[in-house]
Chains A and B, each alone.
Chain A
Amino acid sequence: MTTATLGFTLLLLTFNLCLFAIFGSLLGIKFSNERLLSSSKNASYVTLLTTTLSVICLVYAFVTRDFSVKYVFNHSNLAMNPIYTWVALYAGNEGSLLYISLIISIASTLTIFFKPREFDDSEPYLISLLMGFLLFFLAVMIFLANPFATFIETPTDGRGMNPLLAHPGMFSHPPLLMAGLATICVPFSLIISMIFSGKFKNDGLDYVRTTSLVVWAILGIGLLLGSWWAYTILGWGGYWVWDPIENVGLMPWLVMTAFIHSIIVQRRRGMFRTWNIILIFLAFILAQFGMFINRGGPVVSVHSFAASTLGYIFLGFMIFSVIFCITIFLFNTKKIKSDGTVQSFLSRETAFLINNFFLVAITLITLWGLIFPLISELFYHETVTVGAPYYNSVNGPIMLALLFVMGLGPNLSWKYTSSTNLKVNFLIPLSITIIALITLLVISERHIMSSLALASIVLVLSTIITEWIRGSSKIINSGVPWYFSFFKLIAKNKKRYGGYIVHISILLVALGIIGINFYQVRIEKVVLIEERIEIGKYGIELLEIEELEFNDRREKLAKFAIYNNDTGQLIRHMTGNNTFYPSFNMASIRAAIRSTPIEDLYIIPSDFIGENKMKIIVSINPLVWWMWLGGPVFIMGTLIALWPTVQKD
């Protein structure tokens, strides 16, 4: 038996295991058959084993260069470095489906295994929902996109991997993003199973929160890595261009952000129940929408990795999800009613509500911009483009408002905030912010928007810091040494302070966005060798152009010397790289970047004209460095927020 047959057989086996787990669980509840229930649970665990084995089969085919397997033929060749096997595994449609199946079975096994006691009654529903989701991907692979399809005659060499994927960012960005989108099914299934078992109360919400946080963090890091990749491998213009494929990843993340905030309100005050359900349904549907657009949806995008005719299967699944969600919603309105309501505008509940409002607003506006070209085509027979300037000017102000709420919200009290509380919490931060705003307005005359944005950052930061100081000094007063007090404070309420650290990481990302959107300086110029151009405080001289020929590519290197204009001193040498892959008819451009906390000097070797002439695009991107620092801080904050608190019995 060949590896390909083995792999496919394992897929069929997984398919049957899923079916058994689904029907076993449902019948088990109906006839209260304990043995059937536990047997279905075990079947769901076994899917992890079988999917892992079939992934191993595909990896083995890659490693042994088994070009009789079509997928291996399409996504690798003899020249490919074996470390890219991991990337090739999910580079195409069939492989990515297999990868997603693996992720779902890992996620479902972990979810079922670690579920707390509160979920005992809803477990069978949980299993059938998760397995149902897995079943869909298996069905698509088995009937439409088999990763183990083979040729009758084995070709001697493969076609090779898409060269744009040969970048460190590709080791993590696509798999994280796919994993994030696929695992939204976990909090979704948890919530629905709670509704089905009639126990959608406050117990068990901690578990929903934990799983949502994990999913949300994976998705967030995936998005940020994608930005970083776009920034360093250019060709796509900067870190974020509001491309449809970027948007469909962003939208579920935004809704999940709203969800992990509003679930706190439900846990603390029993409110927002209906709203939370709507949010998680929306996130799930948007994730399906993302997969649909990614796999050959009807919109124009610069990403075209996994484009195929499979899109409409995913559209079908999305429509099915929508109908499923609406049905559940309509038949359970009584079960999901909230206990209380908002009592005052000046309360943390309201702040969460406004936060949710803005996040959902950004999501819907992004969705609207994304589908508007289709609407226009359909009703008006006119092809239009909705591009980055639209999103920037419509979403930008809302993001700013969101930043502002982020400064106020965490310091408001539950139910209502007393005026003394207001004074204590906001007097210092607000004064600092106002002083900062005035200073900023005076310094940068024209930039009202950027000054407001920077002032909002100051507000958030100063509220967080004043609270840290207040909390730490209390601990110091109780006799703890000062250097230890800060950590003790974090350890005392990990959820809250982890959350603050995540807020700081968002500030860092915002800082980068503000820097590049408002203060970027840019020139485009054709330069000769030894010609020197000036931008800001830098003098840039083109030293030489080098051309290298390889088997699979032509590399052109442009070497630059960077001088400090004021002192005339050489700062450093930099090299930009423009590589052309003839067999893919594709160019990959690597910008020369000198990154400092103050600003990045960013040189794109845009076009080589003859032997001693080239076109370069030079820009100074202030504060972008902080955006990438936001990534590690984000991970740290999430980990702190997730770290389990030891229960004292």
Chain B
Amino acid sequence: MPHDHAHTVLPSDPALRVKALETLLVEKGLVDPAAVQEIIETYEHRVGPQNGAKLVARIWSDPEFKKAILAEPMPILQELGYYGRQGEHMVLVENTPTLHNMVVCTLCSCYPWPLLGIPPGWYKSDAYRARAVREPRKVLAEFGLNLPDEKNIRVWDSTAEIRYLVIPERPKGTEGWSEDQLVPLVTRDSMIGTGLAQAPTQ
């Protein structure tokens, strides 16, 4: 066929390799195309940082719940449906006036999918993965988060088995707010530790 640009745009090399993988896996009966589509739908529309935000808002609002989930998160997360199919164990790490937590995966990009969805590009970048442990204060400053020198920073390195969620500090001026009012203040970055919960805007 002459090259007259009337054909469909040729996908990139990795995209064609994915096509090849998909064809082979479906032909061999190793994956069900409907299951694959369902996974994409789930992550594009149903799983995301709103899950983590709801959890954090409840932790801020309910001291009994907070005590229980910090002590033993897995049974509660399973009950709430925030449970990953990768069989990972979640650890919730709480920010305090003297301690700031941040999360990285230096190996690849392990991340609490059920609570935060798919990680953003920067979380998967070499720059973040290599530098978060070595120079966290500088990395946080690049996110616009300048922490005072007296605030300690603890960096948690995720693995296939253990994932972390940061519980940010509840913003001042939100006393008496309902969980629903608090949820929008809990940003994705605040639960990775590269940001803080948003301050209320009057």
A and B: partners? no
Give chain B's interface residues, CB within 8 Å of chain A: none
